[in-house]
Structure 1
Amino acid sequence: MMTALVHVLVPFILCVALANTSLFSKIKVDLTYEHYAEKRLDNMPAFLAMPCNCLVNLGYVYVGLYWLWWHKGLKETEQGRYMRKVFALMAVFYAPVQWTRLTTLRRAPAVLDQWLTLPIFAWVPVWIDFIEHLPAKWHASRAALFELCSVASYGLSLVHEQGFEVALGCHVLLALYKGIRVHLTHGDGRSGRYFLLAMLSCAGFVVLKLTDHWLAGFWLFQRLTGHFWSKVCDVLQFHFSFCFLTTVTDRAQARTAARKK
Structure 2
Amino acid sequence: MPYNAFVNIGYVILGAFYCAKTSVALGIKQIQRSDSFLFYTFNIMSTFYGAIQAVRILTQFHRAAVMDQWYTLPFFMWVYIWSRHLDSGIGSKSVTFWTTISLLSYLLTLVHKYGFELALALHIVFALYGAVTIYRKFPIKEAQQPFVWALICCIGFVVLKLLDLELPKINQMFEKISGHFLSKIADIFQIYFVNKYFEVLTLHKNDREKKKSK
TM-score band w.r.t. shorter chain: over 0.9
Over the residues paired in the alignment, what is the CA RMSD in angstroms?
1.4
Structure with the bigger percentage of helix: 2
CA distance in 2, matches of 1:238, 1:187: 21
CA distance in 2, matches of 1:221, 1:161: 27
CA distance in 2, matches of 1:118, 1:189: 29
Unaligned runs of 5+ in 1: 1-49
Structure with larger Rg: 1
Q: What is the aligned partner in structure 2 of residue 99 from structure 1?
A: 54
CA distance in 1, matches of 2:39, 2:25: 14
User: CA offsets per residue over residues 64-91 of structure 1, 9 Å max, x none?
Assistant: 1111111456711001111100000000
Amino acid at match of 1:66: F
Q: Residue 181 of structure 1: which of 129, 133, 143 is its match?
A: 133
Shift in Å, 1:253:
2.0
8 Å contact kept, 2:76–2:126: no
Q: Residue 255 of structure 1: which of 194, 208, 214 is its match?
A: 208
2:65 equivalent to 1:114: no
8 Å contact kept, 2:154–2:187: yes
Q: What is the aligned partner in structure 2 of residue 24 from structure 1?
A: none
TM-score normalised per structure 1:
0.76
8 Å contact kept, 1:187–1:251: no
User: CA offsets per residue over residues 177-236 of structure 1, 9 Å max, x none?
Assistant: 111111121131111100000000001111111112222231332322211111000000
User: CA offsets per residue over residues 26-55 of structure 1, 9 Å max, x none?
Assistant: xxxxxxxxxxxxxxxxxxxxxxxx101110
Choose 249-258 or 149-158, whichever is displaced more: 249-258
2:196 equivalent to 1:224: no
CA distance in 2, matches of 1:168, 1:84: 22
Task: Give aligned pairs, total.
Answer: 209
Unaligned runs of 5+ in 2: none
1:138-149 matches, cutoff 5 A: 138-149=90-101
Q: What is the aligned partner in structure 2 of residue 9 from structure 1?
A: none
TM-score normalised per structure 2:
0.92
8 Å contact kept, 1:187–1:248: no
- Aligned sequence identity (%): 33
Q: Residue 246 of structure 1: which of 193, 199, 204 is its match?
A: 199
Shift in Å, 1:256:
2.6
